[in-house]
Amino acid sequence: MGELALLITLFAPFLGSIALLFIPNREPLQVRGVAAGSAGVTLLAALYVFLAYDPEQGGFQFITKWSWSEELGIAFHLGVDGIGAPLVFASAILLFAGIFISWHIKDRTKEFYIFLLILAAATIGVFMSLDLFFLYFFYEMSVLPMYVLLGVWGSHTKGYLSMTDSEGRKLRDSVGFILNFGANSKEYAAMKLTLFLSAGAVLALMGILLIYHFSPVHTFDILVLREVADFDGTLATIIWLLVFFGFASIAPIWPLHSWSPVGHAAAPAATSMLHAGVLMKLGHFSIIRVAYEILPETTQQLMPIAAILCVFSILYGGFVAYFAKDTKYVIGYSSSSHMGYVFLGMAALNYISLTGAVIYMFAHALATGMLFAMAGWVYDQTHTRDIPSLGGLVQKMPFLAGAFIIACMASVGMPGTVNFIAEIMIIVGAWEKYPFQVIVAVLGIVLTMAYLFKMMRGLFYGRLSAEYAHVSDARNWVDRMPLLIMIGCSIFFGIFPMHFYNVVRSTVVPMLDRINQVSPVLTQQTTGLFP
């Protein structure tokens, strides 16, 4: 039953996109209906997978395995562990919400939903692949639809180069600015994103091929590799670095982040949601799946790299977000800043922090999904993302303003939302090993509060420009439901996190035991936050 649910989760969006091919473009309601239907099926199946995952048993569950190519040692091997299951669930939530968020897209509706469904399905595929080949297969497959989604349905960015702070000083994103050849167009953003991520993917592929070649058994099967593979010395370091930086480019870790805010800003709302919500987590997830499972010793030695880089991610993203004037840039940079927390949680390599990191991925998916959805709504209504030219929207959009406050609270990590649980676990867990980084992370929370409330004030309070007198709130259920679902999940798991926590912990504990066996000094901290 669980196996079936897993397959349904993966294939329902694919089948939905195939079904869409046969529906004429002039029937937008049918198109949306089919897309929503397949996403709904996925959501239910993913929910089932998440609930049916047995934390007592732990490990990989709902395993399906079919031989795909014996010649190359590839099997179509699916299954989830306590890290994959919540992320599959998060992808399904965001896909379902994204379908409704983009309900009003009029231009080539059918193609939009086809690409969106493929994107989401490929993302889900990564989270349940137990074969390196299919992990890469779905990973690369999720990158390409982004190109078309951004390019066709995205929006140009105005004034990125002339971003100014409150005193009128020009603000430049150093890396992003240098590589941004004076172009603010969505085409540029799409191309940059695709090439950047493909380059990262190719690095990772090199690492995967090296793993394949040097393991005693020529196979791509992760479950076999983690038992038999035994890499050490220079080779292990090279593979680890290739895998880490290859996958971290999508995460995105500083200094490989410059594609991400540009890409987020150009993308249509539903794509930004999926992109910031789950696509970026592919990076962390793949690092955990490949580096943590197959190269535990090297991970133990080299993970401090992530601990160093995450400081830059957190501060850099936070400060740029504070000064950015474009709603989507604020959220985009806040995402790359928040991904630093996940890296911190991963780098500390103890039960609490890694569990926190995984929960944070889920929590951030919901919070950032909400923010992007609402930024998208504001953009659709006002056709601008420039914060200074907006203001007073609360008069026209009371519901949205309320939801926005909740989303900001969630993003900041207010108690009562699942973000709080995740943040506190990362901070508590990482304190012993990386006290400096934890101080930075706490500072980052303050920064988050500053820029999110600044943006909220800029958008919703102050004087309403006459230009925007016609804007309307999210009134009917189609527009409200996706926001309510995300808010509901965020609060529900914030108040009842136990199943979630147990699921994640059941996988994190044995994984870290393998990693830390090398130097048992670090495995002292066995007491959980929740006994």
Partner 1 sequence: MTFDLTLSGSDLLLLAPEMFLTIWLCVVLAVDCTRRTINHETLAYLSVGGVVVTLVTLIWFDYAEIHGALFKDTFVLDGVAIFFKIFVLMATALVLLCSVDYVRSFKFFRGEYYCLIMMSALGMMFMASAQDLLSVFVTLEFSTFGFYVLVAYLRDNQKSSEAGLKFFILGVFTAGLLAYGISLVYGETGTLVFSEMTATPGSYGLAIGYIMIFAALGFKIGAVPFHSWIPDTYQGAPTPVTAFLSIAPKGAAMAILIRMFYVALATFKPTWVLLFVVASIASMTYGNVVAIAQKNIKRLLAYSGIAQIGNVMIGLAAGTKRGSDAILFYLLTYLFANLGAFAVVIGVSNLIKSDEIEDYNGLNRRSPFLAAAMLLFLLSLAGVPPLAGFIGKLYIFVAAIEQELYTLLIVGLINIVISMYYYLVVVKKMYINEPADPSPLSVSTPLKTAVFVGMAGTLLLGVYPQPFINWAVDATLMFSNVVAPTAAVPTLPSPIGG
198/395 with CB nearer partner 1: 198
Distance CA 388, CA 72 (A): 57
Query: Closest separation between CB of residue 69 and partner 1, Å?
Result: 5
150/403 with CB nearer partner 1: 150
In this structure, what are the phi and psi dihedrals at residue 60, rounded to the nearest 5 degrees? -85, 130
Query: Closest separation between CB of residue 302 and partner 1, Å?
Result: 21
**Residues of the shown chain interacting with partner 1 in the complex, contacts defined by CB under 8 A:** 25, 67-72, 108, 111, 133, 136-138, 140-141, 144, 147-148, 151-152, 186-187, 190-191, 194-195, 198-199, 202-203, 205-206, 209-210, 212-213
Per-residue tokens: 17? 């996109």
Query: Closest separation between CB of residue 461 and partner 1, Å?
Result: 37
**By CB neighbour count within 10 A (0-12 exposed, 13-18 middle, 19+ buried), where does 309 fall?**
buried
Strand stretches in 41-110, DSSP E:
61-69, 74-80
Q: DSSP labels for 492-504?
A: HHHH--HHHHHHH
153/372 with CB nearer partner 1: 153
- Taking CA 286 as the corner, what is the angle to CA 95 and CA 350, rounded to the nearest 5 degrees? 110
Identify which of 188, 131, 336 has the alpha carbon closest to the alpha carbon of residue 249. 336
65/514 with CB nearer partner 1: 65
What end-to-end distance do the CA atoms of the chain give, in Å? 31
Query: Closest separation between CB of residue 134 and partner 1, Å?
Result: 9
Query: Closest separation between CB of residue 122 and partner 1, Å?
Result: 9
Q: Are 193 and 187 in contact (CB under 8 A)?
A: no
153/377 with CB nearer partner 1: 153
Cis peptide before 252 (omega within 30 of 0): yes
Query: Closest separation between CB of residue 411 and partner 1, Å?
Result: 32
Distance CA 514, CA 519 (A): 10
Find tokens 């929503």 and name the residue: 36
130/148 with CB nearer partner 1: 148
Query: Closest separation between CB of residue 242 and partner 1, Å?
Result: 10
44/199 with CB nearer partner 1: 199
CA-CA distances (angstroms) from residue 50 to 182, 209, 391, 499? 45, 32, 41, 9
Identify which of 483, 489, 488, 491 has the alpha carbon closest to the alpha carbon of residue 98. 483
Query: Closest separation between CB of residue 143 and partner 1, Å?
Result: 8
Q: Which amino acid is at 517?
A: Q
Q: Are 153 and 268 in contact (CB under 8 A)?
A: yes
Query: Closest separation between CB of residue 486 and partner 1, Å?
Result: 30
229/321 with CB nearer partner 1: 229
212/377 with CB nearer partner 1: 212
